[in-house]
Amino acid sequence: MKAALAEALRNAPLALTTPAPDILSGTSAPPPRLPRAFWINDSQRLRARDQVRSAIYYSLRRHGYEIPFPMQIEIPRPEEPERASERIDRVSRILAPVALFARSPPSSATKLAARAVERIYGEGESIVRQGEAGG
């Protein structure tokens, strides 16, 4: 596919040949990545982009690639609110194996679970930092 994209840029007279275009491979369906950078005379920017896009279309078609139409599908998901008792049970099960809470009486764990507020963190994100105020 890179060859087809390079060919397209050669067929677009307004795309400059130096510096060379930057064409990277990607992981999605064709075309994985269109040229990330190609050089043009700034006064002809819109015409050059149109010319390059047209050349890419025809070059990809000649090389047997199809450009998929963008699609977006929305799948509605009925979200049932979690009952308070179910949430408390779920949070209690999460807290139970934690050493800090293991020796607490069940009533304390239930109270803590009822007052707990859930926050979502990504892998590697800091949750607490030494020296910062806590609550």
The DSSP output letter for 32 is: S
Radius of gyration of the chain (CA): 28
Note whether 56 and 32 are within 8 A (CB).
no
30 Cβ contact partners less than 8 Å away, ≥ 6 residues apart: 1, 60, 65, 66, 67, 68
Q: Interhelix angle for 84-95 vs 106-115, to 10°? A: 120
What would the two tokens of residue 134 be?
């806590």
One digit per residue, the tens of pLDDT, for the chain of length 135 reads 777 878 888 888 878 777 777 776 655 544 445 555 676 767 777 888 888 888 888 888 888 887 777 788 888 888 888 899 999 999 988 888 888 888 888 888 889 999 998 888 888 888 888 998 877
The pTM of this model reads 0.39
Domain edges within the chain: 2-62, 84-115
